Each structure stands twice: as C-alpha cells, then as structure tokens.
C-alpha cells in the first residue's frame, strides 16, 4: 500500500514540475541561452582517483549555463547511501542530483525520494542507452535515473608477474589456484587478492557456480541452494590454500595497494580502479603491464554482476528544472566520452562507443564485451539490502570458521526476513 502512496506522491511532483516548465519545449539545445539558473548541489560518489575529473566535469556545467552555480560535493561511496537517506528522510540537506549506484535507485525510489524523469529534459535520447544500463534506472514502470557509467568485474593481472611465473591468464578459479602456487614459488608473491570485505565480490563466485541471490520472477530465495554454499566454499578454499589473501575490512584500499605494489599478481576489480591501479608503482611507468581478463569461471560458468552509476534527481529539490538539466548533462555523450578518455570508464550510450577515442581505449575494448555479458541483477527495492547479510556471512566463513553450508542457509534466512512483505519462498 505504502508503495503506492510514495509513487503517487512522486508522480504529483512530476506533474507539478511538468506544468512549471511546460513552456520550454526546445530545451535540448538551450546551452548558452542561460535560461536555467540557481544552485544545483551534486553529490559525487566517485573514488579518489576519479573525483578530480568529476569535479571538473560537474563545474564545467557552469560554463554552459552561466547562471547556474554547481555545488560539487564529494561523498564517499561507503557513506553515500546512508547519508542520502539521513538527508532525504529528514527533509534536510539532500542534494539535488546524486550519483547513485545502480542498486540504490529502486531502494530510493521506493521510499519516494527520487523524482521520476520520464518526459523531462533529463531523459535525453533515451534510445541511445545500452539496454543493460537502462534496466537499473527503472522501478515500477517509471524511470528514476539516467545511466552514467556501466561496469562489471574483470580479472586485473600483472603481466610481468604472470610471465615470470610462467603461467597464463587463468580462465577458471581452479586454474587460478594452480597458477597461484607457481606464482608463489617463482616470485614469492600471492596469486590473488580476494575482496572479503565487500559482498559485491561474492557475486562472481555465486554466478560461477550457476546460482543467484534471488529469483524475482518465481519469488524465490535461491542463495541457499547448492551454488551458494559452493561459492562460499570456493572463496574459503582460495584463502585457506594460500592462493589468495583477503581482509575483512579496508579491502578497497588494501587490495588496490597490494596490486599496485606487486604484492599480489591478480585482483578481481572493476573499471573504476583502472585509473587507481595505473598510479601504482608496478604500472606507473609501464601502463601496458596492466592486463584485464574476464572473471574466472567457477564450476559452471563465468559470470560477473552488472554494476555502474546512475544520476538521480531528488524529489524534494527546489530547483527541479536545473537539476534535470544537470543530470542530462552528466549523462550526455560528451561527458561520457570525457570520462572514458580520462578515466577509462565505460559509457552507457551506444553512440559513445563509436567515437574513435573510446573505441581505441584498451580497457573499453576489454570491458565492453564483458559488460554485454554481465549478469543483470534483479532491480527490486530490496536489492541493495540483500548485500548486508552476505557481508556478514562472508566474514564468518573467511575469518570465523563457519561452514559454507551454514553461511548460505543463514543468508537465505535473512533474505526471507527482508523480503517477507513480498512473500518470497
């Protein structure tokens, strides 16, 4: 019931704004006319290596629209969801536009925090968006965000180290485990950095065994089926056998540092860390040393989740029109091309992939096909909350000695609690 209320309320906002700015039909090419004005606060959630570029991009909006003042605020990815909810739930301090993780859109929209964008200037040339990327922007038949970058996980590897150890790029985790032994004996270093702190990294193992978290069409929790336990077991085995090292906290920092410094030969990571990895001492002077391959396969398949970032507009913004224009700008082909050129991030627009500078980008060359095959997650309101139980059990399995079966069962139980309103089995 309450969902309905939220959605109707949000729709009311839409109606209001639509009437408010109904007159300016030709908004698509109004750059320079300066008809939009005011301050637009933008929360950016990019990482340390990316944020400088994003700040510049965001502030360049002022050049196009001199009357607009862009207030760029960097918010850490880890705190952003929490902070936005604090702010939006308290009706105070929420940004006009926010760079929203794909799994957050449904969550926020469900709470009525996001403004629907269908039919507004924000949704510009929607047909150009990759289908996979656009999927996460929709919730209950409405569009609540525009995609900015898309991503998936890949296996980053240190070419020199693999060569030194005389092993190829592993295509499966079994192979990776064997290679790790050789790497250890030849170079003394560890094969893989396994992200044990972040539940997102559970997904490739789960998909690799042919499983998934939930099946929204059958309304069924699937994580505690056999593949779930196998995925936990796989991760545990990699760590226990010494093929991989892990941390239960600070994984982003420690993992990237270990890879940058050549303490590990491989790490499963996404395009957002390309720029960061290349700043490390193993890659700084030899950018070609960084190799990227598909995520290794489990016993059934190779699979990696589709992720990425969208731009959403806060439903309570006082400057709806400007916010929409800003979201449109940040998701435009021009900006996407720029983020690819400067940060090797993957565009969400078909047309951008045709640009020579993008087509020639090595990382894009690799990641584009990977993204096309990435596993789409169920974009349900609870999608984001599903991660927390996984995180706990990943910790328990990797550090606390809980058995993979128990862990998978526990996650399943927690999922059912979270999804009890939807009657998941």
Partner 1 sequence: MAVETTTGSRPAPAAGDGGSTAGPGRGSGGGDADRTGRKSGASGRLGRAVSRYWYAWAMVAPVVGVIGVIVGYPLLRGVYLSLTDADEANVERVIGVNHLPATYKFTGLDNYVSILGDSVFWDRLGWTVVWTAGCVGVTFVLGLTLAVMLNRQVRGRSFYRIGMIVPWGIPAFVSVFAWKMLFNEKNGLLNQVLDGGGIDAVPWLGDPFWAKVAVIAVNVWLGVPFMIVAMLGALQGIPGELYEAAEMDGAGPWQRFRNITLPGLRAVSSTVVLLSTIWTFNMFPVIYLLTRGGPEDSTEILVTYAFRLSFINSPRDFATSAAWGVLILVLLSLFTVVYRRALRRQGEVW
Partner 2 sequence: MAATETTPETAPAKSAPAKSAPVKTAAPRRRGERGPLAAFGLHAGLLAATAVALFPPLWLLVTSFKPKSESFSTAVVRDFTVDNYTHVVADTYFLTWLGNSLIVVVGTTLVGVFIAATTGYAISRFRFPGMRPLMWVLLITQMFPMAVLIVPLYNTMASLGLLNQPVGLIITYLTVAVPFCAWMMKGFFDTVPVDIDESGRVDGLTPFGTFWRLILPLARPGLAVTGFYTFVTAWAEVAYATAFMTGEENLTLAGGLQTFVNRYGSDWGSMTAAAVIIAVPAAVVFGFAQRHLVAGLTAGATKA
Using CB under 8 A as the criterion, which residues of the chain lie in contact with partner 1 when the complex forms? 1-3, 5-6, 9-10, 12-13, 16, 81-82, 85-86, 88-89, 91, 107, 110-113, 246-250, 254, 257-258, 263, 314-318, 382, 384-385, 388, 392-393, 395-396, 399-400, 418
Touching partner 2, residues 76-115 (CB under 8 A): 76-79, 83-84, 86-87, 89-95
**Dihedral-angle region of residue 332 (phi above 0 means left; psi in -120 to 50 means alpha; beta otherwise):** beta
Cβ neighbors of 385 (< 8 A, separation 6 or more) are 107, 418
- Should residue 252 be labelled a site residue for partner 2 when binding is judged by CB under 8 A? yes
Provide, rounded to whole angstroms, the least separation between the CB of residue 260 and partner 1: 12
Cα–Cα distances in Å, from 234 out to 190, 276, 398? 17, 28, 10
47 sits near partner 2 (criterion: CB under 8 A): yes
Q: How far is the CB of 173 from partner 2 (least distance, A)?
A: 25
**Contacts (Cβ under 8 Å, ≥6 apart) of 78:** none
Comparison of 72 and 139: residue with beta carbon closer to partner 2: 72
> Cα(386)–Cα(417) distance, rounded to whole angstroms?
10
Of 332 and 399, the one with the shorter C-beta distance to partner 1 is 399
Nearer to partner 2 by C-beta: 95 or 116? 95
Q: How far apart are CA 177 and CA 238, in angstroms?
A: 7
User: 357 contacts which partner out of partner 1, partner 2, none, CB within 5 to 8 A by kind?
Assistant: none
Sequence-separated (6 or more) residues with CB below 8 Å from residue 51: 44, 74
- Sheet of 306-313, strand order: 68-74, 38-44, 97-101, 306-313, 145-152, 346-347
Residue 317 binds which of partner 1, partner 2, none (CB < 5-8 A, kind-dependent)? partner 1
- The nearest distance, CB 36 to partner 1, in angstroms, is 18
Nearer to partner 1, 50 or 107 (CB): 107
Point out which span in 27-35, 244-252, 285-293, 378-386 binds partner 2 (CB under 8 A): 244-252
Contact between 250 and partner 2 per CB under 8 A: yes
| From partner 2, partner 1, none, interface partner of 4 (C-beta below 5 to 8 A by class) | none
Contact residues for 399 (Cβ-Cβ < 8 A; gap 6+): 196, 248
From 233, 305, 86, select the one nearest 98 (Cα to Cα).
86
Phi, psi of 341 (to 5 degrees): -65, -40
Residue 368 binding: pick among partner 2, partner 1, none (C-beta 5-8 Å cut-off by kind): none
Site for partner 2 in 174-203 (CB under 8 A): 197-198
Q: Report the nearest approach of partner 2 to the CB of residue 392 (Å).
A: 15
Rounded distance between C-alpha atoms, residue 326 and residue 145, angstroms: 12
Q: Are 91 and 316 in contact (CB under 8 A)?
A: yes
Q: Shortest gap between Cβ of 83 and partner 2 (angstroms)?
A: 5
Choose the one of partner 2, partner 1, none that binds residue 218, judging by a C-beta under 5 to 8 angstroms depending on kind: none
DSSP labels for 188-234? S-EEEEEE-S-GGGGHHHHHHTT--SEETTTTEE-TTSHHHHHHHHH
3-class secondary structure, 298: coil
**Residues interacting with partner 2, by CB under 8 A?**
41, 47-48, 73-79, 83-84, 86-87, 89-95, 197-198, 249-250, 252-253
């Amino acid at each position: 019931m309450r969902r309905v209320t939220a959605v109707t309320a949000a729709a009311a906002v839409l109606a209001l704004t639509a009437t408010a700015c109904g007159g300016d039909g030709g908004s698509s090419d109004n750059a320079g006319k300066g008809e939009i004005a005011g301050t637009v606060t933008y929360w950016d959630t990019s990482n340390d290596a990316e944020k400088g570029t994003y700040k510049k991009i965001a502030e360049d909006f002022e050049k196009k629209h001199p009357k607009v003042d862009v207030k760029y605020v960097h918010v850490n990815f880890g705190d952003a969801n929490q902070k936005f909810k604090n702010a939006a739930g308290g009706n105070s301090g929420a940004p006009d536009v926010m760079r929203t993780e794909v799994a957050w859109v449904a969550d926020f929209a469900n709470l009525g925090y996001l403004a629907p964008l269908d039919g507004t200037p924000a949704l510009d040339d929607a047909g150009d968006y990759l289908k996979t990327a656009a999927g996460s922007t929709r919730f209950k038949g409405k569009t609540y965000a525009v995609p900015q970058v898309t991503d998936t996980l890949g296996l980053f590897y240190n070419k020199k180290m693999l060569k030194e150890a005389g092993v190829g790029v592993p295509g499966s985790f079994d192979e990776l485990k064997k290679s790790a032994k050789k790497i250890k004996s030849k170079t003394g270093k560890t094969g893989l950095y396994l992200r044990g702190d972040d539940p997102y990294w559970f997904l490739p193992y789960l998909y690799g065994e042919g499983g998934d978290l939930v099946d929204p069409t059958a309304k069924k929790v699937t994580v505690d089926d056999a593949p779930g336990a196998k995925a936990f077991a796989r991760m545990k085995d990699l760590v226990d056998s010494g093929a991989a090292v892990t941390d239960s906290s600070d994984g982003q920092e420690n993992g990237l540092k270990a890879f940058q410094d050549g303490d590990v030969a491989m790490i499963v990571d996404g395009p957002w860390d390309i720029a960061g990895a290349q700043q490390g001492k193993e890659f700084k002077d030899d950018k070609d040393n960084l190799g990227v391959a598909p995520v290794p396969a489990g016993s059934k398949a190779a699979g990696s989740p589709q992720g990425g970032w969208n731009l959403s507009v806060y439903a309570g913004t006082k400057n709806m029109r400007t916010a929409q224009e800003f979201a449109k700008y940040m998701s435009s082909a021009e900006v996407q091309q720029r983020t690819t050129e400067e940060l090797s991030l993957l565009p969400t627009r078909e047309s951008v992939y045709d640009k020579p500078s993008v087509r020639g980008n090595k990382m894009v060359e690799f990641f584009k096909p990977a993204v096309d095959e990435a596993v789409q997650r169920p974009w349900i309101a609870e999608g984001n909350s599903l991660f927390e139980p996984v995180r706990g059990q990943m910790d328990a399995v990797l550090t606390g000695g809980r058995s993979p079966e128990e862990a998978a069962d526990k996650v399943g139980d927690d999922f059912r609690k979270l999804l009890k309103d939807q009657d998941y089995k």
